Amino acid sequence: MSRSSAVPGRVRGAGGFLTIDLDAVAANYRTLGTRLGPACECGAVVKADAYGLGLAPVARTLWDAGCRRFFVALTEEGIALRFLLPEARIYVFDGVDQDTTADTAAHRLIPVLSHPGQIETWATYARTQRTRLPALLQMETGMNRLGLSTGEAETLVSDAADIGALELDGAMSHLACADEPEHPQNAQQLDNFRNALAILSPLGLAAASLANSSGIFLDPAFHFDLARPGAALWGINPQPAGPNPMGQVVKLQGKILQTRTIDTPSAVGYGATHRVRRGARIATIGIGYADGFFRSLSNSASAFIGGIRVPVVGRVSMDLITIDVSAVPAEAAQAGDLVDLISPEHPVDDLAREAGTIGYEVLTALGRRFERRYLGGGTGS
């Protein structure tokens, strides 16, 4: 029954196989750079372990493709990246607090400062160290999440003491609705960001940054000096209403543990939510919600065998899913065979839609139990 020779590199009973195409990451980085043009530098957001794809291979690939500015969420992520890329400029979205000042400085991380308390903490630390420390300012422009208000920015400009202790790298803000190009909030945030830059102009900031992946596909007025794509680099469609300009990066396959032909009409899985007819064939796959294959994919996800759709039936279990493989010949779905869950005919955005979420969440949830394989490696340097 087992056909393990069909599975390259399979070891130790992993239930799923995740293939990450690093050449596609590099190609996507170049695509975004072309879209931005020469006036805007293209950075990369690699927080959350590069959205679940693996920080080390992804960051190295992007560096080789020419990326020099990287963004992470946490200090700890910045430290890990520093050991990988000694020369990169590394920004930490969550900024800095009294517990992280020393680590942030020691690893030459650039905190994104979003409120007066953070600015004061970082400036105070700089003064105690008798040095100037780098920072990027975050402006609130309409998301009400992180960032300085207009009033706080005005106060900051007039406060020579704290500003003098810092080497301000630039100012950024974040778009809430850039994946909906017609949303009125985009223009409003652009106006607010321009207004903030005018307030901050006495500080002589080097760089302004507003565009995330989706923002790169808005009008060039949103580009400014530095773009911060994440999702598009991994093949997520930055403008879901249109065709996807990005190349696919991720492939996920699950291993069939057992195939069964139903001899009596009966139910499948927890809660007996799906009934199967006599003669149907059910394959059980060694992937479940503990691997990030969301339980909301119960009775809704599509899988593919040789390009033919075979639906997930019944509830997603912790470590297992069941799929109805009646549509393919019995010999195409045997124990040991692989089933495509994310693939060219079923990209990550499609799986996300079946789960009622977005591709970003699917990627970051991809579990640690998969066997991972990396294809290519950027420019090969």
As annotated, the active-site residues are 47, 270
User: What does 292-334 look like in DSSP terms, one character per residue?
Assistant: T--GGGTTT-EEEETTEEEEEES---SS-EEEE-TTS-GGGS-
70 binds its own copies (CB under 8 A): no
- What SS3 class is residue 16? strand
Cα–Cα–Cα angle for 66, 70, 76, nearest 5°?
140
The backbone torsions φ and ψ at residue 14, rounded to the nearest 5 degrees and listed phi first, read -60, 145
In the list 198, 267, 330, 375, the residue contacting its own copies (rule: CB under 8 A) is 267
Restricted to residues 138-197, the positions that interact with its own copies (CB under 8 A) are 140, 142-146, 149, 176-177, 180, 183, 185
Which of 27, 110 has the CB closer to its own copies? Answer: 110
Which of 247, 270 has the CB closer to its own copies? Answer: 270
In the list 164, 220, 279, 356, the residue contacting its own copies (rule: CB under 8 A) is 356
Q: What x/- string results for residues 99 through 128 when contact with its own copies is judged by CB under 8 A?
A: xx--x----------xxxxx-xx-------
User: What does 98-162 look like in DSSP terms, one character per residue?
Assistant: TTTHHHHHHTT-EEEE-SHHHHHHHHHHHHHTTS-EEEEEEB-SSS-SSSB-HHHHHHHHH-HHH
CB of 204 to its own copies, least distance (A): 25
In the list 25, 59, 96, 196, the residue contacting its own copies (rule: CB under 8 A) is 96
The backbone torsions φ and ψ at residue 266, rounded to the nearest 5 degrees and listed phi first, read -160, -175
Q: What x/- string results for residues 43 through 62 when contact with its own copies is judged by CB under 8 A?
A: ----xxx-xx----------
Restricted to residues 310-329, the positions that interact with its own copies (CB under 8 A) are 314, 317-320, 322
- What SS3 class is residue 191? helix
